[in-house]
Amino acid sequence: MNAMFDLTGKVAVVTGANTGIGQAIALALAEAGADIAAVGRSPCDETVAAVQALGRKAVFVAADLSSIAPVGDIVEQTVAELGGLDILVNNAGIIRRADSVDFTEADWDAVIDTNLKSVFFLCQAAGKHMIRQGRGKIINIASMLTFQGGIRVPSYTASKSGVGGLTKLLANEWSAKGVNVNAIAPGYIATNNTTALRDDEDRNAAILARIPAARWGKPSDLGGAAVFLASSASDYVDGHILAVDGGWLAR
């Protein structure tokens, strides 16, 4: 492996690592040499086993990020069990769908709390550790709706727009302290969160018609971008939102 992309000896926290995008990013980082703290509400047995099969260390960190209560424990457990913390991937997220005229406060709060509030406070907890050691990489998972409005997902759009702004703000504050903060904006990826779209024949056709690559993305399509932003290859990349979208935003 090119030394710029080598993550040997690094420790990465990946939230929402039990399936989909989080699992794919965890495996990509492990393939590049990183040990993985797989964070999730439900056990990440499959992810942990796959990372270990690559010859890397892996631990499961149980955490429900619908509140900020576990953020300190995530950092502490990772450092205690894996010996450090070099990379944070804020992937955990939820979505609620309804017409804006019918959208409930409960659905608004649930999404904002998980997708934005917990992201900030986990960045804060990891950032304190990274600033003390003088280095670190934070990768937030944004969305096409960081750039666009979407339909019937007001709290998700607000949260992912917030993730984009937060990524830039933290880069402004922490870049000179050795901590790179960037984001990946996945396009339309085949995951549990997009099942409703793929099951809707008309919406599925409309989405595919706009994607120049002419297919839904796979979670594994995000692995290379994650390794780049986690590695020394991106040491002069700060506050950037990297779209991995099959060309969606170009059309």
Within a domain: residue 165? yes
Within a domain: residue 200? no
Within a domain: residue 105? yes
Comparing C-alpha atoms, which of 161, 160, 188 is closest to residue 94?
Answer: 160
> According to the model, what pLDDT value does residue 136 have?
98
* Residue 236 annotated to the active site: no
Within a domain: residue 205? no
Within a domain: residue 213? no
What is the overall mean pLDDT for the chain? Answer: 97
> According to the model, what pLDDT value does residue 197 have?
86
Within a domain: residue 207? no
Query: Choosing from 33, 60, 125, 156, which is the catalytic residue?
Result: 156
Report CA-CA distances (Å) from 13 to 7, 87, 92, 144.
13, 6, 11, 23
User: Burial, 34: exposed, middle or buried (Cβ in 10 Å; 0-12, 13-18, 19+)?
Assistant: buried
For the chain, the straight-line distance linking the first and the last C-alpha, in angstroms and rounded, comes to 34
> According to the model, what pLDDT value does residue 1 have?
61
Q: Taking the CA of residue 192 as centre, how many other CA atoms within 13 Å lie in the half-sphere pointing to its CB?
A: 12
User: From the first residue on, what is the mean pLDDT of each consecutive set of 10 residues in the chain (251 residues)?
Assistant: 91 97 98 98 97 98 98 98 98 96 98 98 98 98 97 97 98 98 97 87 94 97 98 98 98 93
Q: Residue 12 sits in which domain range? A: 3-192+220-243
Within a domain: residue 71? yes
Q: Could you give the number of structural domains in the chain?
A: 1
Within a domain: residue 50? yes
CATH number, domain of 154, equals: 3.40.50.720
